[in-house]
Chain A
Amino acid sequence: MTKQADQAVRFRMLHRIALQAFVLLCLVAAGMPPAAEAHESRPAYLQIREVAPARYDVLWRTPVNSGMPLPVMLRLPEAARNTADPIIQRLNDSTVERRRIELPEGDLAGQRIDFVGLQATITDVLVRVSWLDGRQVTEIVRPARPWIELSDRQSIWQVARTYTTLGIEHILMGFDHLLFVAGLMIIVRSTRSLIKTITAFTVAHSITLAIATLGYASVPAAPLNAAIALSILFLGVEVVRLWRGQTSFTLRHPWIVAFAFGLLHGFGFASGLTTVGLPTSDIPLALLAFNIGVEIGQLAFVVVILLLHRAIRILQFDPPRWTYYAPGYLVGSLGAFWTIERALILF
């Protein structure tokens, strides 16, 4: 063997070893978010509810990450007085503080609330204020502007922006929804089929999102979450079928299955929206904006996956055979894990 050929062989071996280490790293990275939780969207949350004229119930929830509480202090308007000592509850994942305040000047509208220390973090605060007369304000406070001046009415633009952002955050932190979309992307075999499948999923979850949010139907959270996990496991099985060269109804018509399970996932999205609540005066707009946010997040995910896939092809990677199976195993294994985990909660 010539010296050059020997070098080429050694180079290829080095390349293969490095590639295997790299794939292992990818798998660890891919498994990391679900290892945390299926739903990790945990901004701080401030809810103020008028319970009697000039009297308000305040709920202030801050996330705890790796045992560290969020270093943010709530500063209510100066005129606000506690009617009793605040009650503080320390939970595994958050700290909840409840208090009742009264405002001698009456209305909270026009007053300013500060979140001291928020500027030193990258955590958002979701603020929701409701008055006895039905007025509601929901807004997201960002670290770049760590305070809010409460207005008694939100502009259409503010409502749309707030709920679109919420929609994006909800889908991007909802790993189970994203994994389902990833599973769909694996089983479809053409661009046309991908467009059809993703559109069917979108239409379906939009329908149930609207139905559930408007209160026409509801599904208990525990069985719903188990069923969503089962939908992911179902796709894992279909991926294996695809590898074996077999066919099935799902593989022939993925868009129908995407539509059917999309109805289920829509109820899941609705749970995210009902936690926050809808402004009574702008329900259609808020619902539409939230749905648009979910679509933006979902499309961004699909585009990033497609771009990465395209990039891998451009760079002409020739990875080991087993790496082709990794995404399918990830979908199936996590689907199975979540199904068992969530089913156990039911009993």
Chain B
Amino acid sequence: MKRRILLLAALALPHIARAQDKRKLRVGITLHPYYSWVANITQGAVDIVPLIEAGFDVHNYEPQPADIRRAATLDVLVMNGIGHDDFALKVLDAAEMRGKVRIIYANEGVALIPASGNPGGEKTYNPHTFISITAAIQQIFTIAAQLGEADPDNAEAYRRNARAYAARLRKLKAGYIAKLAGVTGAALNVATIHGGYDYLMQEFGLNVVAVVEPAHGLLPTASQMRGTIERIRALGVTTLFTQAQYPAQFADAIQRETGARLYTLTHITEGAYTAAKFEEGIAFDMQVIVDAVLAATGAAH
């Protein structure tokens, strides 16, 4: 009997070892959209680990000890890399994981567009590629390709899932674009409080001619506010988009001074991390844009 047990154990050992080798990759993410994208690409084949807990503002985040502990468990990290999550590299350094974790820069291959509303005229790039359908699709293919390199057995499935997810996102956008079919004068000039919506506005053919925050994550001074208000008046902008997390007094002041209609968008970096988060957030923003365009063009029913 003992001999039989030993024989069975010997036969099982390679399988156990292989099962351990095949443990799920632990894929860290820095922003909510990346959670959704990785979840939809991998369909449960990896463990997804948000690097920071829900509820923090990514614009002024400082690493916490718990982040460092989480970072020490990662195999892969998906991050923006061009202006929203520099804290992630600090966390990796603190956890002594730089060089050990494979970093996927989601924006590596994304075609960036200029940030709108820079009164100086100099064109800087906009890092908010995660508030967009087209730029999201570009990133989804990059993430799928590089996750496939980290996990070759699932590479084809990741590519297939990426295509299915991209198709769903395209269909989602097409539904909102269709709501504007036949609307004349849809190419509106608009203003935004936060400079995070250029990619999405461009997809809807809207021109962002003024941005209230002077630079990413900064609050405007009184003189900057006055300049923006004058610019909005001079350009005849009647539609202003603010963001749920931005201090209300700035949007309220502009609305009061210019009479522009005010709409609130989401930055898709708040709340719980879920697979559906990106679709829900971007659908919310697209509905807000559709409502704004219909109201501005007098086509609202």
A, B co-complexed: no
A contact set with B: CB distance below 8 Å: none
